[in-house]
Amino acid sequence: MRLRGVRSSRNVEDRRGRGRGKAVGGIGGVGLLIVLAVGYFAGIDVTPLLTQQPAASSQPYAASPQEEQEAEFAARVLATTEEVWTQVFRDEFDATYTPPVMVLFSGVTQSPCGGASGATGPFYCPADQKAYLDLSFFTTLSQQLGASGDFAAAYVIAHEVAHHVQNQVGILGKVDQARRQASQTEANALTVRLELQADCLSGVWAAAVGGLMERGDLQEALNAANMIGDDHLQRQAGRVPRPHTFTHGTSAQRENWFRRGFDQRRIAACDTFGTNSL
């Protein structure tokens, strides 16, 4: 993804160095993948399984050069979402888009929606309209989940911003109310539609920044969508996929809805709640 010359967003809150945790010894790659998968599709904060809180330290937090590059990358990707959705809201709704704040943290942090951690991946909280990101998740995405490439990482950010778009247009609130009145299976099904819509909206963003894409970028995003499908994650965790527990959609569904948004380039194409076929 060509981001040279792209501005960095000012809507970034840097909490790195606060609430740091360190990995617990003895958990191997397969075990880590299982814990990540459980946290991802169950919506459970599994941070206590992966981290332990260190003793208070007077040493200032020193980010590595790679982490600083990742922070700059995230800020620039966020800026592209701001430009895209400002234009889309103007064109499709004749409305003003208010961008979210992206919180960068290391280890664990707190939000009005509960704990956020690198263990469970990026996290959008509608209560404060902030997206939470531990930059170490980029490594997890590449090395543990098999979704490598800078555009795969950009897709992750775009997906969380897509939840903010859903919040802006009132979809998140309606779905949350419906979930509260539904059975667990029905609530999961609604969540799947919400997540697939966010994938589609991510595709709309990707099409709009097409001039910044390089060869292979689209495939990186599609691969990322595939690798974090509920069925794939459950198989990787050694479990038989159970559709009634899905909360994000299958790999095929996630990939298909991202491509739909990319091909049709408009929010109206992303009505996952108005179709019987996902």
Output the DSSP codes for 71-129. Answer: HHHHHHHHHHHHHHHHHHIIIIIS----PPEEEEESSEEEETTEEEETTT--EEETTTT
CA 53 to chain centre: 25
| pLDDT recorded at residue 35 | 40
CA atoms within 13 A on the CB side of 220: 18
pTM, two decimal places: 0.85
| pLDDT recorded at residue 20 | 52
Longest Cα separation, the chain: 56
**Which residues of the chain form beta strands (DSSP E)?**
12-14, 22-23, 51-52, 101-105, 108-111, 114-117, 123-125, 130-134
CA distance 260 to 266: 9
Q: Distance of CA 56 to CAs 48, 77, 149, 153, Å?
A: 17, 33, 35, 31
SS3 at position 157 = helix
Torsion angle, alpha carbons of 8, 14, 20, 24, to 10: -30
Sign of CA dihedral 260, 262, 263, 268: positive
| pLDDT recorded at residue 60 | 66
Burial class (CB in 10 A: 0-12, 13-18, 19+), 32: middle
CA distance 270 to 109: 32
CA distance 205 to 218: 12
User: How many helices and strands in the chain, by DSSP H and E?
Assistant: 10, 8
- What's at 195, amino acid-wise? E
pLDDT, tens digit only, all 278 positions of the chain: 999 899 999 999 999 987 554 433 333 444 444 444 434 433 434 444 444 444 444 456 777 889 999 999 999 999 999 999 999 999 999 999 999 999 999 888 888 988 777 666 788 999 999 999 999 889 888 888 888 899 999 999 999 999 999 999 999 999 999 999 999 999 999 999 999 999 999 999 999 998 899 989 999 999 999 898 989 889 988 999 999 999 899 999 999 999 999 999 999 999 999 999 99
Q: What tokens were used for 24? A: 């617990």
| pLDDT recorded at residue 258 | 96
